[in-house]
Amino acid sequence: MSSAATHPRIRPIEVFPAEQEGQSVLVIHDPSGLATGSIVVSSSAVVFIFSLFDGDHSLEGIQRLFREQFSCDLPTEQIESMVAQLEEAHFLESEEFASYLQGLIDEYHASPLRVSAEMESDETQSDGLASVIRGMLGPVPTMPASVSDPRLAGLVVPHLDYPRGGPCYAKGYGRLAALDRPARFVILGTNHFGRATSVVATGKDFQTALGITGTDRDFIDALSQRCNYNLCEDEFDHLREHSVESQVMILQHLFGPANFQIVPVLCHDPCGPQGTAPYDGNGVDLRVFAETLGTLIREDDTPTVVIAGADLSHVGRRFGDDRDIDDDFLCHVEINDREALDAVVGGKRDEFVEVLKRRQNSTRVCSAGCIYALMTALPDTRPELLNYHQAADRSSDTCVTCSAVAFWE
């Protein structure tokens, strides 16, 4: 019998409340998107059982702890059925999941395209997606800036979904759309759920409902050579990552999918004890990567803009805060966010990271890596804060914050 069957280990999951047919339920979700669908349960007892699926507890041990907690027995056939269902849905770490994952990796490597995860959804067909983006951005200037205007070298914009991040997407991309179209965009994203611990690029062209945009593989190869590391080693991490894709679709809408190239890169968090180095020693240091990126951009005469798809704080019950999203709490979050943004606007990349580290990133800023990398790659630019926004949902006591920052030469 496999260890998954005797000592099950559940993969990282999210649990959040929902309502189904008038009843309160809990939804078990795989944030990486690798598991098949979601699991809906109506009892907190099931979540308790799942919490014990950590690879250390045996089935017998779980039954004993369940009996102590709820004063009733958990039948063997019931817990074995739960394990089997989780295994079938790819929620467990196991040999079967490893084989399934390797199949997905092989399929990704064999394809020339990184295909949007939403391609099969009716709401992301070309006309519908273009309408959503057009409505979000509002009237966009079409006349290019005069030659005397400063050149836009970089942007920080959200990677939040368009309805919640709209105010900051509109401010950031409104500035970009008013300028001559760059030939290349380096898009720095957050590696939310991937397995790599370092910088990850992909050489795949991006296909969305709006078309196919090519990736500048020569530039990525040059980056890899200068960093002495294959940045595409773990490129499968891009398959379900949305922080780059959200930017690609807006750029496709603004400029046409075939009229520019992209350099898609995911960045790791520099706020841990290892700083900008990967915590397990595998990969390239984020500072080294970003400095190399800046050097290559300056050596190349291809007009390039660096975009960081970056959200800020994640607060509320879904993210682990046991309190309501009230005005006082949101004010506290904004004060923390603006302290970090003051460092960004001041061009102080190290202070930006230190601000988050000093308070142990208590509001869960998820995109310190890509913001730090952009600032490091563009050290001689003038940052300008365009907007700050809190997307608060008081019904679920959840809030995600974001900003728009332009970096001018």
Residue type (1 letter), 277: A
pLDDT of residue 317: 87
Digit-coded pLDDT (tens) for 365-402: 999 999 999 999 999 999 999 999 999 998 888 999 99
pLDDT of residue 125: 66
Give dist(CA 284, CA 83) in Å, integer.
Answer: 38
Give dist(CA 257, CA 248) in Å, integer.
Answer: 9
- Which domains are seen in the chain, by residue range? 3-102 (3.90.930), 113-408 (3.40.830.10)
Residue type (1 letter), 225: Q
Q: Which of 254, 261, 237, 283 is nearest to 142 (CA)?
A: 254
The DSSP string of 56-85 is TS-HHHHHHHHHHHHSS---HHHHHHHHHH
Nearest-5° Cα angle at 295, 290 to 144: 95
Q: What's the whole-model pTM score?
A: 0.90
Q: Determine contact, residues 403/387, Cβ cutoff 8 Å.
A: yes
Q: Residue 41: pLDDT band by 50, 70, 90 thresholds?
A: confident
Burial class from Cβ neighbours inside 10 Å (0-12, 13-18, 19+) for residue 275 reads middle
